[in-house]
Chains A and B, each alone.
Chain A
Amino acid sequence: MHWFDEWALTLAVFVPLAGLAAVLAIPRAQEQAIKITALLTTLVTAGAGIGILIDFNYSHAGRLQFIVNKSWIPTISARYHMGLDGISLPLLLLSMLMTVACVVYSWNHFPEPHNPKAFLALILLLEIGMNGTFVAQDLILFFVFFEVVLLPMFFMIGVWGGPNRQYAAIKFFLFTLFGSALMLVSFLAIFFLSKHQTFQIPQLATLGGAGIARGTQVLVFGGLFLGFAIKVPMFPFHTWLPDAHTEAPTVGSVLLAAILLKLGAYGFIRIALPILPEAARVWAPWIGLLAVIGIIYGALCCLAQSDMKRLIAFSSVSHMGFVMLGIATLTSFGLNAAIFGMVAHGLITGMLFFLAGSVQERYGTREMSRLGGLLNQAPKLGWVLGFCAMASLGLPGLAGFWGEFPSILSSYSPAKLAQGLLNGDPLLTFRIFMVIAAIGTVLAAGYLLMMYQRVAFGSPTAEFERAHIHDINIPEWVAWVPILLLIVALGIYPNLVFHMTNQAVTNVSKVFGG
Chain B
Amino acid sequence: MLENVWILPALPAVAFVVILFFGKRSPGKGAAFGITAVGASFVGAIVAVVQWVHRVDHAGGSSQSLGKFAQTFLTTATSGSHAVLPVTESVTWWQNGSLKFSAGTYVDGLTVMMLVVVTLISLLVQVYSIAYMRGDRRYTWYYAALSLFTASMLTLVVADNMLLLLVGWELVGLCSFMLIGHWWEEPANSRAAIKAFLTTRTGDIGLMIGVIILFFTVGSFGIGATNLYATSVHARHDLLLAAAICLMIGIIGKSGQFPLHTWLPDAMAGPTPVSALIHAATMVVAGVYLGARVYPVFFNGFSIGHGGVNFMALIGGTTIIIGAALAFVQTDIKKVLAYSTISQLGYMVMALGVGAWTAAVFHLFTHAFFKALLFLGAGSVSHAAGHTFDMREMGGLRKKMPITFWTFIIGSLALAGIFPLAGFWSKDEILVNAGKNGYSAFLVIGLVGAFLTAAYMTRVVWLTFFGEYRGHEHPHESERLITGPLIVLGVLSVVAGFANAAPLGIEKFKEWVQPTFAFPNVHNAAFDYPKAVLSVGLAVVAIGIAAYYYVNRDEMSFFKGLTERSPVAHAGYTFLVNKYYLDDLYENVIVAFISGSLARASYWVNQHIIDGVVNGIGRGATVTANYTYAYLDQRVVDGAVNEIAHETGAAGGELRRVQSGSVQRYALLLFGGVAVLSLALLLTNTI
CB distance A442 to B201 under 8 Å? yes
Is B213 an interface position by the 8 A CB rule?
yes
Q: Point out the residue from A401, A402, A457 that lies within 8 Å of B184, measured CB to CB.
A: A457
Q: Point out the residue from B92, B171, B185, B603 that lies within 8 Å of A397, measured CB to CB.
A: B171
Is B551 an interface position by the 8 A CB rule?
no
CB distance from A241 to the nearest CB of B (A): 11
Is A506 an interface position by the 8 A CB rule?
yes
CB distance B205 to A438 under 8 Å? yes
At the interface with chain B, which of A98-106, A415-423, A493-501? A493-501
Taken together as a complex, chains A and B put the C-alpha atoms of A372 and B198 apart, in Å, by: 21
Contact flag A435-B170 (CB < 8 Å), given A300-B598, A449-B194: no
Q: Inside 8 A of B92's CB, which chain A residues have their CB?
A: 495
CB distance A442 to B202 under 8 Å? yes
Q: Point out the residue from B202, B603, B687 that lies within 8 Å of A197, measured CB to CB.
A: B687
Is A365 an interface position by the 8 A CB rule?
no
Taken together as a complex, chains A and B put the C-alpha atoms of A442 and B205 apart, in Å, by: 8
Q: Inside 8 A of A236's CB, which chain B residues have their CB?
A: 610
Q: Inside 8 A of A145's CB, which chain B residues have their CB?
A: none
* Contacts of B189-207 to chain A: CB distance below 8 A: 190-191, 194, 197-198, 201-202, 204-205
CB distance from A337 to the nearest CB of B (A): 9
Bitwise interface map of A from 276 to 291 toward B, beta carbon under 8 Å scored 1, else 0? 0000000000000000
Taken together as a complex, chains A and B put the C-alpha atoms of A390 and B202 apart, in Å, by: 16
Is B167 an interface position by the 8 A CB rule?
yes
Contact flag A397-B170 (CB < 8 Å), given A301-B602, A493-B93: yes
Q: Point out the residue from A239, A303, A449, A498 that lies within 8 Å of B606, measured CB to CB.
A: A239
Is B566 an interface position by the 8 A CB rule?
no
At the interface with chain B, which of A24-32, A343-351, A405-413? A405-413
Taken together as a complex, chains A and B put the C-alpha atoms of A171 and B595 apart, in Å, by: 29
Q: Inside 8 A of A197's CB, which chain B residues have their CB?
A: 687
Q: Inside 8 A of A450's CB, which chain B residues have their CB?
A: 194, 595
Bitwise interface map of B from 199 to 234 toward A, beta carbon under 8 Å scored 1, else 0? 001101100110011011000000000000000000
Interface of A is mostly: helix
Q: Inside 8 A of B212's CB, which chain A residues have their CB?
A: 408-409, 412, 434
CB distance from B542 to the nearest CB of A (A): 40
Taken together as a complex, chains A and B put the C-alpha atoms of A329 and B174 apart, in Å, by: 31
Q: Inside 8 A of A402's CB, which chain B residues have their CB?
A: 94
Taken together as a complex, chains A and B put the C-alpha atoms of A285 and B200 apart, in Å, by: 31
CB distance A458 to B190 under 8 Å? yes
B191 (CB) vs chain A CBs: closest residue: A453
Interface size in chain A (residues, C-beta < 8 A): 62
Taken together as a complex, chains A and B put the C-alpha atoms of A240 and B610 apart, in Å, by: 11
Contact flag A502-B201 (CB < 8 Å), given A457-B187, A495-B92: no
Is A248 an interface position by the 8 A CB rule?
no
Interface size in chain B (residues, C-beta < 8 A): 49
Is B96 an interface position by the 8 A CB rule?
yes
Is B53 an interface position by the 8 A CB rule?
no
CB distance A175 to B602 under 8 Å? no
Contact flag A409-B215 (CB < 8 Å), given A197-B687, A239-B611, A301-B606: yes
Taken together as a complex, chains A and B put the C-alpha atoms of A110 and B93 apart, in Å, by: 42
Is A268 an interface position by the 8 A CB rule?
no
CB distance B96 to A442 under 8 Å? no
* Contacts of A385-439 to chain B: CB distance below 8 A: 390, 395-397, 401-402, 405-406, 408-409, 412-413, 434-435, 438-439
CB distance B97 to A506 under 8 Å? yes
CB distance from A506 to the nearest CB of B (A): 6
CB distance A405 to B614 under 8 Å? no
Is B402 an interface position by the 8 A CB rule?
no
CB distance B166 to A495 under 8 Å? no
Bitwise interface map of A from 429 to 467 toward B, beta carbon under 8 Å scored 1, else 0? 000001100110111011001100100111100000000
Q: Inside 8 A of A192's CB, which chain B residues have their CB?
A: 683
Is B632 an interface position by the 8 A CB rule?
no
Contact flag A303-B599 (CB < 8 Å), given A197-B687, A396-B166: yes
Is B557 an interface position by the 8 A CB rule?
no
CB distance A390 to B174 under 8 Å? yes
Q: Inside 8 A of B96's CB, which chain A residues have their CB?
A: 332-333, 336, 406, 498, 502
Is B287 an interface position by the 8 A CB rule?
no
Q: Inside 8 A of A238's CB, which chain B residues have their CB?
A: 610
Taken together as a complex, chains A and B put the C-alpha atoms of A445 and B201 apart, in Å, by: 8
CB distance A412 to B213 under 8 Å? yes
CB distance from A439 to the nearest CB of B (A): 6
Q: Point out the residue from A303, A332, A397, A412 that lies within 8 Å of B594, measured CB to CB.
A: A303
CB distance A438 to B208 under 8 Å? yes
Is A174 an interface position by the 8 A CB rule?
yes
Q: Which of B205, B600, B618, B680 has the most CB of A within 10 A?
A: B205
Is B95 an interface position by the 8 A CB rule?
yes
Q: Inside 8 A of B204's CB, which chain A residues have their CB?
A: 441-442
Taken together as a complex, chains A and B put the C-alpha atoms of A441 and B206 apart, in Å, by: 12
Contact flag A495-B93 (CB < 8 Å), given A445-B197, A458-B185: yes
Is A187 an interface position by the 8 A CB rule?
no
CB distance from A478 to the nearest CB of B (A): 17
Is B659 an interface position by the 8 A CB rule?
no
Contact flag A395-B171 (CB < 8 Å), given A412-B216, A449-B198, A458-B190: yes
Give the 10 A-B residue pairs with the shortest CB-CB distance, closest first.
A303-B599, A304-B603, A300-B602, A396-B167, A304-B599, A457-B190, A239-B611, A457-B184, A332-B97, A494-B94
Give the A-binding residues of B (Cβ under 8 A): 92-97, 163, 166-167, 169-171, 174, 181, 184-185, 187, 190-191, 194, 197-198, 201-202, 204-205, 208-209, 212-213, 215-216, 594-595, 598-600, 602-603, 606, 610-611, 614, 618, 680-681, 683-684, 687
Give the B-binding residues of A (Cβ under 8 A): 75-77, 171, 174-175, 192, 197, 236, 238-240, 242, 297, 300-305, 332-333, 336, 373, 375-376, 390, 395-397, 401-402, 405-406, 408-409, 412-413, 434-435, 438-439, 441-443, 445-446, 449-450, 453, 456-459, 493-495, 498-499, 502, 506, 509
Pick 20 A–B contacts, CB within 8 A, sort by A: A77-B687, A197-B687, A304-B599, A305-B603, A333-B96, A396-B167, A397-B170, A402-B94, A406-B96, A408-B212, A435-B205, A441-B201, A442-B198, A458-B184, A458-B190, A459-B185, A494-B94, A495-B94, A498-B95, A502-B97
In the complex, given contacts A405-B163, A441-B208, what are 16 additional A-B residue pairs having Cβ atoms less than 8 angstroms apart?
Answer: A297-B602, A300-B602, A301-B602, A305-B603, A332-B96, A395-B174, A408-B208, A413-B216, A434-B209, A438-B209, A445-B201, A449-B197, A459-B185, A494-B93, A498-B94, A509-B97
